[in-house]
Structure 1
């Protein structure tokens, strides 16, 4: 079973990068057009060149934490508006 582990890890990375590339919006892809990245991942997936290239050069950069939190639901103990309303109710 252990001899299959490297193959399974390569396959898992290959599938992950392929799905990630397909789910990434066209305007966020870096370096090459999205269709070209799909071909690079599929053609060079067995030798890990395609998936690693996608992770390093093609995948969109992560946004700052503050930008991701805008417009999202925030837990009540982290929400300053909710905490202020508690102080107002107490008075």
Structure 2
């Protein structure tokens, strides 16, 4: 029985140290919930339970949606905006403005707009 307690304590100490190191070396972007310093404090001051909390709640996985690249429209993508020239941008804006004006002139029932001001 005493041997089992010694082995369990040894394994708990190894897990505790591993949790502290893992929490400390992760970049701040991989921490969920509270800041990195708070996670380190939780893991240090609540040895085994803090480590379990770190691995279950606090550590963001590499495939976690929080790390996913945010999908943006082409008008918000700087790479796309660098590929088109100023004249292409102006022509695109002009086409969009013309389409918007045409849509504003149409009515819901398809009748011609009232020419009176």
- Give the TM-score normalised by structure 2: 0.49
The Cα shift of 1:49 comes to: 1.4
C-alpha deviations, 1:41-84, integer Å up to 9, x for none?
01100xx21000000011121328xxxxxxxxxxxxxxxxxxxx
- Name the larger-Rg structure: 2
Match of 1:40 in 2: 42
Structure 2 gaps, min length 5:
65-117
CA root-mean-square deviation: 1.5
Alignment of 1:6-85 (within 5 A): 6-45=8-47, 48-63=48-63
Q: How many residues align?
A: 62
Separation in 2, partners of 1:2, 1:53:
24
Counterpart-to-counterpart distance in 2, 1:25 and 1:9: 26
Q: TM-score, normalised by structure 1?
A: 0.62
* Distance across 2 between alignment mates of 1:42 and 1:3: 21
CA-CA distance at 1:2 after TM superposition: 4.0
Ranges in structure 1 where 5+ consecutive residues have no aligned partner: 65-91
